[in-house]
Structure 1
C-alpha cells in the first residue's frame, strides 16, 4: 500500500489506474459496494469513489493513524465512505454488522505502507533509528522488541528463514541472542547493525541493505500478516456477488504465493479427474482476469521506487457455474 504520509493527495497509489480498470465492470452497478480491505491513506478508495458516483466504499484498516488520515481525505464523499477499525480477516463480520451479505468488489493492497515506513516512531524502517515496535495497530499485540528479546534462538532463526527467506537466519539469530545477553535490543538501528555484522562481508556488498529481509520477517511475525491473509482471501471471495471482482496487490513472494493459491483453487473444477463433465457443485467459481502476476510499469517505479516489488492479481466470480463462457479463456492462465 504505497502512499506518502502528508502528501497523499499528490501521490498516486501503485496500480491506481489498473485497479480502477479491473474493478469498474462490477462497480458500475446501481448501489454497488466495494471493500478496500487495507485502506491506508485512501488513495485507491478515492479514485474508485470518484469514478463511480453510486458506489459505497467500506475501508478497513487496523492502523488508527491510517483511518484518521483517510477519514479526512474522504470525508467529502459523506455516507458513501465508511471507515472501519478492524483487521481485514474480519471482513465477514464487518459486513454482517452493517447488514450486508455481499459485495461487488474487493481490493487488498498488502504489506506496510509508505506512511508507516516514513513515520520513524513506528520502527518499520531499518534506515531510521526508532523504537522496535512494528505493530500496525500500536494499541494491541506483541512488539518487535519483545520478539527479538524473548524468542529463543531457534524461534528467531525460524521466522527469519520462513518469513524473510533469509539464508543467514541462524547466524543472525545467534548474533541477536548474544547481543541481548549484554543489553536489551530496543531500537531499529541496533537491530540493523546486528544484522549487518552477522551477514558475510561479500553479501553486504551486493543486493541492497542486508537488514531488509530480517525486518520484513519481524513485521510479518508481529502482525501475523500471512495468517491474516490466508483467512481473509477466502472470506472476501465468498462475499463477492456473481460477476464481482477481487484485486490483490502483493509486495513479496510469500504474499503472492498465498494469493495465487487461494484464487487458483477456485478457478478449476474439484470433480475427480477423468469424468466427462463437472459434477454439480464442483464447477469453477472464479476466473482469472490477469495472466500471471502483473508487475508495475517502469513509469510507476520511476515515480515511486517502493513500487518495484509490487505484483497484481485479479479474478472475477462466475455468474453461473459451468455455463460461463469466460471460464476456460482465462482460467487456464494460472494452471
Structure 2
C-alpha cells in the first residue's frame, strides 16, 4: 500500500520538493519551456509537476494523479487548478521531442547554477545501467529477439546481467551540476561512448581548452587520450589500466595538422597544445589521487536511482527513456543546487 501524499510544512522532503517545483513558477523557466516547445505552457507545467512529484516519492503516475484529484491541499501545494488525467499526461509527454526535453532541463539547470569561473574546470563522466522492468526470468529473451528494440542485454558490476539502456552523465566537479548526458543501448562499450559524450559537451559549448575530464578505466583506450587532446583540447584524466604503456601513450600526443593552416596563429596554437600535454602528463602520473574526486558521481547516480525512481523503469523506447531520465537529471541537479552535495548528505538522502 502506497503512503498518502499529504504536504507537510515541517517535513524536509516536502520543503525540498516545494523549492524544486517553484522553478516552474519563475518567468525565466517559463520562457525556457516556451522556447523549447514544451507547450501549451499551463497544461505542461501541471503535468511536469505531477510527474516530478511521483518520481520524488517513488509512486506511480496514476497514484499521483488520484491523490492530486482527491486532495485540495495537494493541488494548492502544486499550484495547479485542474488535474490532468493519466491518459492526458502520457499523451502530452509523448508529443514532446526528446532533444527539446533534454535542452530545457539543461537550460533550467544552467539558469540556477553560477557561471563558470575563469581557468580550467574539472568535469567527471561516468555511465550507469538503466534497467527496464522486463520479467526475463519468467520468459527467455534472446539477443536476437532484441535486434529491433531500443533496449539490449547489458552487464554492470553491481547489477550483473540486465536488459535496458545506459545513461552517461557529465558533472561539473565543483558544483555537481549536470552538464550533459547521453542515452545508449546497454551493450555499447564505454570506450565507444567517450567520444560521444565529449562531442556532446563541445556541441553545447561547455568545454574550453585546458578543461580536465576525469573518467574511470572503463573508458580507457589510447585513441581516447589522443582525440581528447588533438580534437578537443581537453586534458583526459582517464584512469589507466595496468598494462598501459606510457611511452607508447605519450608518443601519440601530437599536434593536429590543422594548426599549420596559414590562417591560424601556429605558434600560439602550439603553446596551447604544449600546456595541455604537460598538464596531462602531470595528472596521469599521479592519477590515483583523483579516485576520490571521481567517486562522487557514484553517489549522484545512487541519488537518482534510489531517491528518484530510476532503479527500474517501466518505459521501453529510447524517446520515453530520454525524457524520463531528463526529469531525473533535473531533480538531481536541483537537489545539489539546494545544498545537498556533500558525499555523506547524498548517501543519506538516497537511503
Q: Give your verdict on TM over 0.5.
A: no
**Greater C-alpha radius of gyration:** 2
- TM-score, length-scaled by structure 2: 0.28
Question: Which TM-score applies when normalising by structure 1?
Answer: 0.29
